[in-house]
Chain A
Amino acid sequence: MAAESLLKVESVETYYGNIRALAGVDIEVNKGEIVSLIGANGAGKSTLMMTICGSPQARTGSIIFDGEDITKLPTHLIARRRIAQSPEGRRIFPRMTVYENLQMGAGLDNLKYFSEDVEKIFTLFPRLKERQSQRGGTLSGGEQQMLSIGRALMARPKLLLLDEPSLGLAPLIVKGIFEAIKKLNQEEGLTVFLVEQNAFAALKLSDRGYVMVNGKVTMSGSGKELLANPEVRAAYLEGGRH
């Protein structure tokens, strides 16, 4: 694959007050790839996600998206550059219906494609179609995750950021969601950057992966390499599901 860089994170440091959460992170995501970032609790995975979206902003280093420096842009402008995020904890709008949630995702620019895009989401996640006039807060966890991803996709993103899509979900539902991600990647060439605790499933799905420890990237390689790596196996896979 011709490796054309879409997102480039260079020696980024992020602080919460005086606490350094990211200690110089370098990550690159190429067009058409699925890249996953794995690591233990508190390693800084979600912070990296949030930093890419500009909340909090990186104190040093740079984030280049599609050839443009977005490090110091406010969050809503970053989102309008078509980086869509399904944030940690899903953060759907609980009192709005599924349909309205999807409409919120489309923003102003994509309203002309709206009906077409909604149909696409409903084919990808048929459960959402059944529940379209139900309130977001009444959905099950898995359905909320589907809605969160669907809402992000409504923005017609160039890059989809997924923060722990498997959090708190039954294995079968996780499988379904990961299959949907794979399908989007293969059929539409969607670039996906994925943060996961479920290292096995994430690495199996990904073209490449990064391992993060204490705010630093300690290892990187193709998904297969990392799966075979004894250190990764010992730290994140052994004792888990195989």
Chain B
Amino acid sequence: MTAATETGHPNVLAKAVREGIFAGVISFFMFLLFVGVETYQDINNALVWRTRWGLLAIFVLVAAVSRFLTVAFIKPHIDRRKLAKAKSGVLEVSEQKNFFHRHFLKIALIFLLVYPFLSLLIVGKQGSLKYVDNFGIQILIYVMLAWGLNIVVGLAGLLDLGYVAFYAVGAYSYALLSSYFGFSFWLLLPMSGILAALWGIILGFPVLRLRGDYLAIVTLAFGEIIRLVLINWTEVTKGTFGISGIAKASFFGIWSFDTGSANSFVKAWGLSASSVYYKIFLFYIILALCMLTAYVTIRLRRMPIGRAWEALREDEIACRSLGINTVTTKLTAFATGAMFGGFAGSFFAARQGFVSPESFVFLESAVILAIVVLGGMGSLTGIAIAAVVMVGGTEVLREMSFLKAVFGPDFTPELYRMLLFGLAMIIVMLFKPRGFVGSREPTAFLKERRAVSGSFTKEGHG
């Protein structure tokens, strides 16, 4: 170990001070207009501005101090650990995994199965509404959407920026068909999936010859077209007013969750009226839908079509020279991905009871894509973790009133959600450029599985 890596060495400290000051100066100019100046309307409704030097100072201080700490202590510490690891000659691959790591998926699944009852036990009926609905269902919807998009982006390598369009198709299919024709949720769930898949194919045809950035632009446009149609086709979709009073999902047609109805779930089981039962039921539906998505994805990856998707992502020309029909391969990828988006959409409509074009803006596509990328393209576990971190994280931010102690009483954490979302993304991408789970799990083996670490693969190929 050389002296330069020692903590407290004057060189390191001097460098840390320099970089800390530098970070402070940069953040001062960066936040000067966004944080330092605030506009508001006075009594006469005129727009005036005031300064917030205190808040700006806190921002600058946080940036400078954390940069100083990173350079002075954290980075040397990490370097030393890496060096020690390299010296001991133990590859990360051969590291013995602990119990939690090995059984992570089973533990997670069991936790999810008991989660609603756990929250009922701990915080009671009224309190668990928040945990089951805002956290549980919300996160699982995004898990499902991200897993669906993962088929298109992660497996087939087709960059789709308009995925939310299929979510919208699914949601409006359920909303419109149930309010105009009175079809039930259990009939419309598969139908919404099929309709969305159809739209996936319709999008697929014109973009067959496109790849990368060009494909991204066209899919982005497609997402916007669907949203604009929903806004402007007012006779059918009621435009920006949206469709309200959408029928709830029934308990497989046996019991209804409407409070007034004769065969309501609550009466049948002799429970006191509460909307929490419906939420718990929805939680299990979306959990089952997620499991279905995961199961189908895992199965497909082992089948020729899934392999063809992955080969298509790697090298399209090689694919064709091996006799793979790239046209049908791409179309099936779009259709399958869109189908799961459609399922999620119809579930969303049943859960909200209300849909409007507001829910299907580009930001949604971007968030779903961000989850797929952060999770590590193609990895189901990684994507689920990313969804929990990103969606759960933004929900948690609503609760963080203690931040007011740091940033002053007029600090509203939920306004900074998107800022922190972006910050978190940058940090993850800096330290884990391939996403949380960056290595691709092989699907075919001759004899036994052998672990191949992501660190063996070349950067840029992953």
Contacts and interface: CB of A to CB of B under 8 A. Distances in A.
- Which residue, B320, B324, B461, has most C-beta atoms of chain A within 10 A? B320
B325 A76 contact: yes
A186 interface: no
A185 interface: no
Given A76-B323, A91-B315, A96-B310, A134 B456 contact: yes
A97 interface: yes
Nearest to B329: A76
A76 B324 contact: yes
A99 B442 contact: yes
Contact of A135 (B322, B445, B452): B452
B311 interface: yes
- Which residue, A103, A104, A134, has most C-beta atoms of chain B within 10 A? A104
B330 to A, nearest CB: 12
A103 B324 CA distance: 13
Interface string B414-454: 00000000000000000000000000101111100110100
B321 A132 contact: no
B307 interface: yes
Nearest to B450: A133
B50 interface: no
A177 B99 CA distance: 47
Contact of A87 (B318, B443, B445): B318
A135 B434 CA distance: 16
A137 B461 contact: yes
B317 A151 contact: no
Contact of B322 (A79, A100, A132, A134): A79
B101 interface: no
Interface in B105-131: none
Nearest to B316: A91
B304 interface: yes
B458 interface: yes
A95 B452 contact: no
A93 interface: yes
A97 B457 contact: no
A137 B454 CA distance: 11
B394 interface: no
Contacts of A155: 322-323
A151 B315 CA distance: 14
- Which residue, B320, B322, B462, has most C-beta atoms of chain A within 10 A? B322
B286 to A, nearest CB: 31
A155 B461 CA distance: 26
23 contacts: A55-B320, A75-B320, A76-B323, A76-B325, A76-B326, A87-B317, A91-B317, A94-B458, A95-B313, A97-B442, A99-B444, A99-B446, A100-B307, A100-B444, A104-B322, A133-B446, A133-B449, A133-B450, A135-B456, A137-B457, A137-B458, A138-B457, A138-B458
For the complex of A and B, the 4 pairs showing the least CB-CB separation, nearest first, are: A79-B323, A93-B314, A91-B318, A75-B320
Interface of A: 53, 55, 74-77, 79-80, 84-85, 87, 91-97, 99-100, 103-105, 107-108, 118, 132-135, 137-138, 151, 155
